[in-house]
Amino acid sequence: MSISASHLLLVDTCVVIHLARNDKTGQHIESDLSLTTRAEKPLISTVVEGELLGFAKYRGWGAKKLDQLLKLLKEFVRVEAGLREIVDAYAEIYADGQQNGNPCGKQQNDLWIAATAKATNAVLLTCDRDFDWMHNRHITRHYIDPSL
């Protein structure tokens, strides 16, 4: 899928981690999609924000690195996971996953992130395959190969 400037984007946790690390994948993401310079700022779920801060604390990121992460988070539009439209989308995706044998139990945060993408009609940017079963069924997912 080709991402245009008109697409509303939602970033997954792994995308922000690559951007924060400014590693090869993060550099590729920024050069390819210009996330931090787009006129229409990408969205970020409060669930992703929680995962990122938890990851940083667990990994023992120091104050300087944590400040850089907080500065990066300001480049995104924060979307509260508890909004009615997101809760409804979550329920729909969860029920579908349970009924069709798709993994839901261990991926609760991913379901909230996907529900945010569905409710906002945003393209979900991710570097992992957890959303594959939802792609073109509930959401539009743009996979970014982390080995690039």
Tens digit of each residue's pLDDT (9 = 90 or more) over 71-105: 999 999 999 999 999 999 999 999 999 888 877 76
How, if at all, do strands 77-79 and 140-143 pair? unpaired
pLDDT over 70 at 4, yes or no: yes
- Region at 125 (left for phi over 0; alpha for psi -120 to 50; beta for the rest): beta
> What average pLDDT does the segment 59-74 reach?
94
CB count within 10 Å of CB 49 equals 19
CA distance 87 to 67: 31
Q: Which of 139, 104, 141, 111 is nearest to 126 (CA)?
A: 141
Rounded to whole angstroms, the Cα distance separating 40 from 78 reads: 13
User: If pLDDT is split at 50, 70 and 90, which confidence band does 54 have?
Assistant: very high
Say what the pLDDT of residue 105 is.
Answer: 61
Domains annotated for the chain, with CATH where assigned, are 9-143 (3.40.50.1010)
Decide if pLDDT at 2 tops 80: no
> Is the model's pLDDT at 27 over the cut of 90?
yes
Q: Supply the pTM of this predicted model.
A: 0.93
